[in-house]
Structure 1
Amino acid sequence: MMRSLNEVTALVLKAGLGAGLPVGQAEDLARTASHLVTQNGDLRVILDAISEPNAPIDVAWGGDKLAVKAGNAAMTAPIVKDGFATGVTKARLAQTSHAPLVLAMLAAAGLDARADGPLITRTGNIPAKPGNGPVEIADEVWDALQVFAARTYVKASDASRAAGAGAGLTDND
């Protein structure tokens, strides 16, 4: 189905929060999702990251290198992005499967890189390519993201309804 970039960004942000990610990482995923879909990328990379279980992150820094020893993709990608933005030129990922998200997040930040297995090497900068919508999003991906986003919604109660929550039940202004 066709979606606006605002819809994509908002849903991925809510889905990230619903998956238990910290606000900053959810925001990074949302920006990456918006960039990814305007470059004909697939949101499954984002969905896979959100679906991955939370795990403690273990990173070693040294000079212009960074090594991710453990962690999920949603936490790893922002760390690599921030490292590359501060002068890191090489990163070794704990899992090769995280490379597509890392590369997408780097591209969204204007950083060009390439992957060779678990090794990510910065190759320079890329000009910003502002995208525009609408964009096509697979229904199954959209629906799966909505399941995560729904975890952020507050359940209705009689007290909240009496206080004016909901549409058209009472008018308390």
Structure 2
Amino acid sequence: MSFALNEVEATAKRATRGAGYPWGLAEEASKATRWLCAQGLDGVSVLAAVLQGETKPVSTISQGAALSDRAAGLKQADARLGEIAEPLMILPFAAMAARQLEQTVTVACAKAKAVTDGSLVSISGEFPKNADLVVHLGGVLEAACSKVTRATPDKAAWEALNALAHRTYAPATEESRRLGAGAGLSDND
């Protein structure tokens, strides 16, 4: 199945809220997921893994948001993020920093490296599930990922996001139906 990027973004935001994140971080996570999907990467699987697996007090999403909020600091020193679960989730935030600073930004660990100019990303090596990441200015954008307009996420990851999103829905009641929610008491369409 494929989904429009705006549908991915909306589902990602609801899922992140359903996982207990505040609205601001849910918004950041949804935009990051959409950006990954637009690069031809499975951002849905990345977000699902983050939401289902994180137990650290400082989340990957929080680390990413802090990176883009403090992008100017990269001019003085590299950002050492330490061990990050699902390192690909950091790439959209590095892209935001690259756009702000109008230069490429590199995200690297021992086994992989990604370079972004804010719009495109090139990845060499394979990022492990957990990695000590360093982010620095510069880097050569080589063979960039192919951009796409629709996402084709892993089915299980999509279902996991929808299950988390379902936590944000108000339960149906007889009173809500009487007041006009849903199809009402009779569905004769």
Q: What TM-score, normalized to structure 2?
A: 0.70
Q: Which consecutive aligned stretches of 4+ in structure 1 deviate over 3 angstroms post-superposition? A: 52-56
CA contact 1:114–1:123 (8 Å) conserved in 2: no
CA distance in 1, matches of 2:176, 2:88: 43
Q: Aligned residue pairs: how many? A: 152
Aligned to 2:67: 80
- Give TM-score, length-normalised by structure 1: 0.75
Q: What is the RMSD computed on CA atoms of the aligned residues?
A: 2.6
Greater Cα offset, 32-41 or 87-96: 87-96
For structure 1, list consecutive stretches of 5 or more residues without a partner in the other structure: 57-70
Percentage of matched positions with identical amino acids: 30
Q: Distance in 2 between matches of 1:159 and 1:97?
A: 44
The Cα of 1:104 is off from its aligned counterpart by 3.3
Asked whether the equivalents of residues 50 and 74 of structure 1 are also in contact (C-alpha less than 8 Å), the reply is no
**Which amino acid is the alignment partner of residue 49 of structure 2?**
D
Q: Which amino acid aligns with 1:50?
A: L
Alignment of 1:1-173 (within 5 A): 1-43=1-43, 44-53=45-54, 55-56=56-57, 71-84=58-71, 86-88=72-74, 89-107=77-95, 109=96, 111=98, 112-117=105-110, 118-124=132-138, 133-169=149-185
Q: Check whether the contact 2:19–2:164 (CA below 8 A) recurs between aligned residues.
A: yes
**How far apart are residue 96 of structure 1 and its match?**
3.9
Contact 1:3 1:133 in 2 (8 A): no
Distance in 1, Cα, partners of 2:64 & 2:87: 8
- Which structure 2 segments of 5+ residues have no match? 99-104, 111-131
Shift of 1:55: 4.7
Residues 18 and 168 of structure 2 are in contact (CA less than 8 Å); yes or no, is this contact kept in structure 1? Answer: yes
